[in-house]
Every structure is written in structure tokens, then in C-alpha cells.
Amino acid sequence: MHNRAMSNSLLQYARNPRRGLPPFDQIRADQVEPAVAELLPALIRDLEQLEEKLTISWHDVVERVSELAEPTSIAWGVVSHLLGVDNSDSLRQAHDAMQPQVVEAMLRLSQSAPLYRGLKQLASSGEFARLDEAQKRVVQAAIRDAELAGVGLQGEKRERFLSIERELAELATRFSNQLLDANKAFSLTLTAPDEVAGLPPTLLAATAEAARRASGSETAASPTTGPWRITLDAPVFGPFLEHSQRRDLREKLYRAYVTRASSGELDNAPLIERILQLRQEKAALLGFATFAEMSLRSKMAPSAAAVEKLLGELRHAALPKARAELGELTEFARQRSGDASLKLLHWDVPFWSERMREERYAYTDEELRPFFALPRVLEGLFATAERLFGIKVRAADGAAEVWNESVRFFKVADASGRDLAAFFLDPYSRPETKRGGAWMDSALSRKRFSDGSARLPVAYLVCNSTTPSDGRPSLMTFREVETLFHEFGHGLQHMLTTIDYAEAAGINNVEWDAVELPSQFMENWCYDEATIFKLARHFETGEALPQALFDKIKAARNYRAGSQTSRQVYLAALDWALHHRYLYEPDFAGSVQAVQKRVAADNTVLTPLEEDRFLCGFSHIFAGGYSAGYYSYKWAEVLSADAFSAFTEAGLEQENDIVKLGHRFRDTVLSLGGSRHPLQVFAAFRGREPSTRPLLEQSGLTK
């Protein structure tokens, strides 16, 4: 046993309470099952011993529980991270084999009646009154989470709850894996020049590079002569729809995209129905009318009515504008195409939107790319963080083992040079092994030990930006720059926390509909002159981004704002209907497809195609954390727009005032994490409760 543990890097890492960085160079898929199989019995044994001798104290019901759970959660966190960024058949098999046991063990911990009673007794004890504000929030959240984990269930209901949790975890993993496989299974190989007419040089280079990788030959493709491999990967799919002059190919790609993972062995539709049924049953077991009502127990939004009110206000502001925008775009397309009867379809809107934007604002995404080389963008991003928050970010490549050679490692220090945190940056798209999208996750949370020493937080920042090709660095679209700022905002909240209890440090214990506040806040700086001119330099000449071009970027910020907002409201309303109406109300009987059609009728200006199976790829709500919570993007955007308005009111050119506000933002939103309710944290920064007005103004939706 001892020798086996010594040779298992994952197990050794999980068992070290101080923990450095994960030894990614040594962790292998065949270590997962033996490591987890050894950690789980130890967790249950330690839990049973604690339950027998439990004292009603912060140390026993919080600190000891954290200590005994952490080895398993750390090991499983590494496995889950690798599943997202370095997926393989062997890792999938190991994950799938152990997931039911991990779910069962964690639920056994969450459902511990002695611990729950201990928490309740602590909450009404004299010691509770002496705890600080963060500790009180941790205790109250632990009580709530135990109740949501079914601590009050007995007998058959308890067993059924465990069975539901196991199956839901397995279904979420299957959903994600099948979507990854469906994306990977589709490609168009184009060989004729007319098939790539209109495609910009960066896309030709990237798709030729993809063709070379697929063929295994370094000389099998070139940007000028092809072949070119077109995939559903975001850095390819989006630009192809925007630029391809071949309407038939745009249609083919679009139809493939909205029918991903919806047929054959990779069909996610049965999984969706089962997930929704299980969520309904879970909510009912816990005494909630709907899954959405259950979800709100751990959200900032006070009620279902409050969520629906926000979506209604945004729909009312955005939908008429979106209709007018479609009419305007149709007229533009008819004039430019010479087809007076042209009817815009889904694969036409991105193409003609880009043409109209180019004409109206006289710049293209491709014109901007040379000014946004990733290395320079990172320098500017870090300089902005230094300016606003008084921190230093320095490259520390080689100081940590990584899962892919393109992954970088950075350390974060305060103004005096004292280390505060670190992060991994995985910037590029790898559709064969890495899921799409962008996200931040915790590698390690901040924690203070009994001897006074602190474990510093470490974050994973993951994007799917354009890969370097033909000797050039990654030349980013402006949207990719915004995405990088967004994920870095999440990372800042995780890394700059000053809370010493892991349960409330950084993003931990932050209500889900408030967690997007720092990320969306950081996006605003992409439209700030002082920020953009630090990072926008031509990658070959060093020329600064011309002022006139930046002015056009700012002017175009709210281009088709009604359409963009309506899209987000549609997705949020669809998520909400599936978790608050479907299976609960007779009017919503039928299928998820029927629900999608009904919601689309109220929230879109272009009816989805009959074969649209977008839900089969909606991983946010079926394989991520946004079930009955997609509205969180807009809820948090109210907070982020209002927070940024403090800076615009002060005057973005008033350096002293901006720095003071930046430090206050760090000392509140970025520092306090989940130690206080988000409304208290926001008010500590802004001096009042949030208003929706700044968001409507920022989005160009005020009358």
C-alpha cells in the first residue's frame, strides 16, 4: 500500500495538506482510480470518527470537516480540470468509473446528521456571537447546503436522493463528452479558391494549419492553396459565418452547428429529458415547487418574480430595437446584394451584420487583429491590473508543470513584491482534447493554517483563442480580447481575496448570480483609452492602434445592441422555462423542443429552424453550473455596469480618482469574496444599492 501510494503522484499531491502546484508532468490517467479508491475510504473513516466525538465548535464542525474533505476534493478537482483541457479515452474511463463513488462520498458528508445538528447548535451558541462576519456566513451557508443536499431526508427518500445525484453527475459528464465528440466529428475540407472566397488571411492560415494537423503532414496545406479544414470550433465557426461569400457553405456550417450532438450515438436529447426529470424529482424531494425555486435558495435574486421582472424589463427594452435592427439589416443586404426580395436567414445575419458594421464604422475584425497579438495584450492587461489594483503580474514559466506546452504560468504579487497568488493560462483552442468556451476555475483556494501560515490561491484561466500559425503569434479578435479580460476578472476575485477561510475565500460562497460582477466589470476596460493604448500595438511594426480606429471601436460597442441583448434574454428565458414551467405547468406540456419554440416566439425576431437542436449543445445549463441560473449573466451585468459607472462618473482621465476607486474595488469586491452577502459587498464599494440604469445606458437601450 505504501509503495503504491508513493508511486501515485495524484494521491501524493492530494494528501499533502500544504500542497504546492499539481505535478501535471507526473499525473497519468491510470493513477486516477487507485488514488480515488484510497482517498474515499479514508474520508468516510475520518468522518465517522469525527461524528462520534463531535464538539460544538468552529474547529470541529467547520475546520475539521474542511480538512478531511479536502484531499478528495483536490484530487477530483485535478481530474475534472484535465477532463476539460486534456480529454482522452483513458481519462474519461477513469473519471466515469470513480464518479459515482465520489458523488456518494461527498453526499454522505453533506448529509451527515451529526454535523448538521452541530452546525445548527453552533449557530445558536455563544461561540457563534464571537465569530467574525466571514465565519458566520460560512456556518449559515453550510447549514443551507446541508439542507439542499437532503440532510433532512430519511429512508427511501434519502436513498432516492443519492441515486438522483449520482445519475445527474454521470449525465452531465456524458453531455459534455458527447458534445466534444460531436464537434470533433464534423469538418468541411475545402479545396477550391471559390469555396474560401471572402475568408480573411488569419482564418485561411488557421484552417490550413488545422488541415495540416489532421493529415499529419507539415507540407500538406498552405493558406494560399489549401486545403482548408473548417470546423465547429468557435475561432473558426464565427469568422466563417461572418466572412464566407458562399451562402451555401454558411448554411451547411450553421445547420451542423445547431444540430450538434442531436442524433445517433452522440444524441444529447434523451439526456436533456432525463436531466430535467431528475432535477424536478430532486426539487420535490426537498419540498420545492420547482427546480428553479430550489436554485434560488443559494442565489442573490430574492424570488422567481424578481428574475422574471429583470428579464421582462430587458425584453421590453431590447426586442423592439432588435426588430428594427433586422429590418435595417435586411434593407442593407438587399441594396448591397442587388436582390430586392432577399430574406435574411440565420446564416446570413452574421455575414451581412459584419458587412454593415464594416461600412458604418469603416473597420473590420481582421484590420484589428494585427494590433492584438496575445503577448502584447497580456502586457497591457497586467499593466491595467497594476494601475487599478496595485499588483504586479510576472511570468513564471518553468516554475510549474503544465498539461500542454502552450500553457503558461504567472505569479501575482503586491506592490512590495510579496507573493499573493498564481495562475495558469491556457489560451488556445485545441478542439481535439479541450472543450469550447472560456472559464476560470480554482486550482487552490486561499487558506490560513493553525500555525499562522497561509496557502496562496492558484487559478486556472482557460480560453479558446486563435492559435499561432505560420510563425505569427496569436492575433486576437477584439471579442477574444474582451473574453481574456473577462476571465482575468474572475481570476482576480479568486486571487486577491484576503479571506482566510477557504469556504468563503475568493469565488467560494459567492452567490452564483453575483459571480460575474468582477469579470464583466473588467470587460469595460477594453473601451478605456488609457488601457487600450497600452496593449494595442501592431505585432510587426510596433505602430500604436490609430486613434481613429479606437474611436470606431467605441462607437461600434452598441452595434445591434437590441439583437445582442435579446439573444441573452432568450437563453435566460429558455433556461428558466425549462426549470420553472416545463414539467410543472400543464400549459408547458410536450417536449423541450416545444418549450424552445414557445420561448423563441416571445424572445426572438428570427424563428429558429425547424431542425434546430441548440439545446443539445447548451452545456452551460446541462453540464455546467448555470441550470436555472443563466439569468445570472444579466443580473450580474446590472452590478458590473453600475460599478464601472463609478469610474466614468469620476472621469476616466482623472488618474488619482481612478486609482483610488480601483483600490476600493479591490478592497471590497475582490477582497471580501463570499464573506458577506453580495449586496453588502456592492454597497461597500458603491455606497448604495445597485441600479439598472447604468446597464441600459451602457447597452444603448435607453430611449
Same domain, 32 and 80: yes
Flag residues of the chain having pLDDT under 70: 1-6, 218-219, 703
Is residue 281 flagged as an active site residue? no
Give the distance from CA 627 to its chain's centroid: 13
CA-CA distance, 354 to 333, in Å (whole number)?
A: 11
In this prediction, residue 426 carries a pLDDT of: 98
Determine, yes or no, domain membership for 158.
Answer: no
Question: Is position 171 within any domain?
Answer: no
Is position 170 within any domain? Answer: no
In this predicted model, what pLDDT tens digit does every residue of 80-116 receive, in sequence order?
999 999 999 999 999 999 999 999 999 999 999 999 9
Final residue of a domain: which of 555, 587, 621? 555
pLDDT score at 213:
87
What's the total number of domains in the chain?
Answer: 4
Identity of residue 478: F
Do 534 and 592 sit in the same domain of this protein? no
Clarify whether residues 440 and 508 are in a common domain.
Answer: yes
Identify whether residues 509 and 536 lie together within a single domain: yes
Are residues 32 and 119 both part of a single domain?
yes
Evaluate whether residue 166 is within a structural domain. no
Interior angle at CA 279, CA 588 and CA 288, nearest 5: 80
Coil, helix or strand at residue 629: coil
Q: Are residues 564 and 551 in the same domain?
A: no
Same domain as 538, residue 474: yes
Per-residue pLDDT tens digits for 473-517: 999 999 999 999 999 999 999 999 999 999 999 999 999 999 999
Residue 342 φ/ψ, nearest 5 degrees: -55, 130
pLDDT (0 to 100) of residue 5: 53
- Are 376 and 493 within one domain? yes
User: What CATH number does the domain containing 119 carry?
Assistant: 1.10.1370.40
Q: Could you tell me the residue range of the domain that residue 216 belongs to?
A: 186-259
DSSP 451-475: TS-EEPPEEEEEEEEPPPBTTB--B
For residues 566 and 551, state if they share a domain. Answer: no
**Domain termination residue (choose one: 599, 630, 661):** 630
Residues 236 and 271 in one domain: no
Give the phi and the psi of residue 372 in degrees, each rounded to 5: -125, 60
Distance, in Å, from the CA atom of 167 to the CA atom of 173, rounded to the nearest integer, reads 10
Of 354, 482, 487, 503, the active-site residue reads 487
Query: In the prediction, which pLDDT does 215 show?
Result: 84
Whether 397 maps to a domain, the answer reads yes
Same domain, 480 and 539: yes
CATH code (residue 288): 1.10.1370.10
- State which of 571, 598, 630 marks the end of a domain: 630
Separation between Cα atoms, residue 519 and residue 492, nearest integer Å: 9
Decide if 328 is inside a domain.
yes
Q: Is residue 316 part of a domain?
A: yes
